[in-house]
Amino acid sequence: MVKDIRGGHPTFWTEFGAGPRRALLIHCSLAHSGAWKGLAAHLGNELTMRAYDLPGHGRSDDWTPARDMQEMSVAMAADVVGDDGPMDVIGHSFGATVAMRLAIERPELVRSLVLIESVFIAAALADNPELVPQHDEMNAGFREALVAGDRREAARAFMRDWGDGRPWESLPQEQRDTLAAKIHLIQANQATVLEDRPRILADRKIEALDVPALLLRGAESSVFVGPTHAAIARRLSGARDVAIEGAGHMAPITHPRAVADLVLEFLADVPERANAD
C-alpha cells in the first residue's frame, strides 16, 4: 500500500493478487480501492492487480474544482500504470468511464478494457433521445436536493438508483454520513458522463479505439445501463456486452465470482503483449 503523487495528485494505491498478467482496477464513485477485494480474490491467481483511490475517495486527497474530476482520474490512472503497462484495465461505473478515456488518451497503456456498468449515459441519450425525459425525471430528485443544499437527501436519491439495492434506512449511519459528505463528487462527474464535455461522442473517439473490450452489466440494473452499453458496443469494434443474471449496479461486489469468471474467459483470448510496442 502506497500513497504518493500520481497525475499531480496525492494518490493512495495498493495491489492484489500475484498472477502473471498486470491489471489496473478503477472503482466506482463513492467507493474506494478496497471495494475490489472480493473480486480480486477470484482473479489473484491470474492477475497482479493495481487499484487506486479516485480523487476525494478513500485515502487519496480531496478533489478540488480547479481540475475536472474525470481528467484528474485519468491522469492518476496513467501514472499508476506507469512503466508497467500495458495493463488489462477494469473499471466499474464512473471508473469505467475513466478506463475508456484512459484507453482513448493513452492507448499504449491499455492492453484490454473491461467496462462494468458504465455510466457514460451521454452515449445512451445521444442514440435514444426518447430516453431524455425519463432520465431527467429520474435525476430530478438528486438535482433538486443538491440545489436545496440537502446533501443527505441527494445521497438518498442517488443510492436509490445506483446503489446495491438496499434501502437507504438500512445502511449503517456512518455509511450514510460518508455518502452525504461526498455526494458533491457525483455532481462533479455530470459534465463528463451526461454532457460529454471531453467530446468523446462528438469527435468519434470510441470508434477510433483499437482494443479488445468486454462490457459487463447487471441484468437487474438501471434502465439506462443497457442502452449505454449498447451505444458503446456499436462504436467499439468487436466489443461484447454481457448481462449477469440477478445482479444490479454493484455487480463486482455482489456477484464477484460471476464477474471474475467472465473476465478470465475474456482475457484468455487477449494476448499478454497486445497493444505493446
Per residue in 218-252, pLDDT (tens digit) is: 999 999 999 999 999 999 999 999 999 999 999 99
Domain final residue, candidates 142, 159, 189: 189
DSSP state of 203: T
Residues 113 and 15 in one domain: yes
Per residue in 84-103, pLDDT (tens digit) is: 999 999 999 999 999 999 99
> pTM to 2 decimals?
0.96
273 occurs within a structural domain? no
Range of the domain at 83: 2-127+198-267
Per residue in 134-193, pLDDT (tens digit) is: 999 999 999 999 999 999 999 999 999 999 889 999 999 999 999 999 999 999 999 999
Residues 20 and 111 in one domain: yes
11 occurs within a structural domain? yes
SS3 for 48? strand
Per residue in 26-36, pLDDT (tens digit) is: 999 999 999 99
Under a CB-based contact definition with an 8 Å cutoff, are residues 98 and 185 in contact?
no
Residues 57 and 184 in one domain: no
**Total structural domains within the chain:** 2
Name 108's Cβ contacts closer than 8 Å, sequence gap at least 6.
85, 86, 275, 276
Vertex 70: Cα angle to 213 and 277 (nearest 5):
45
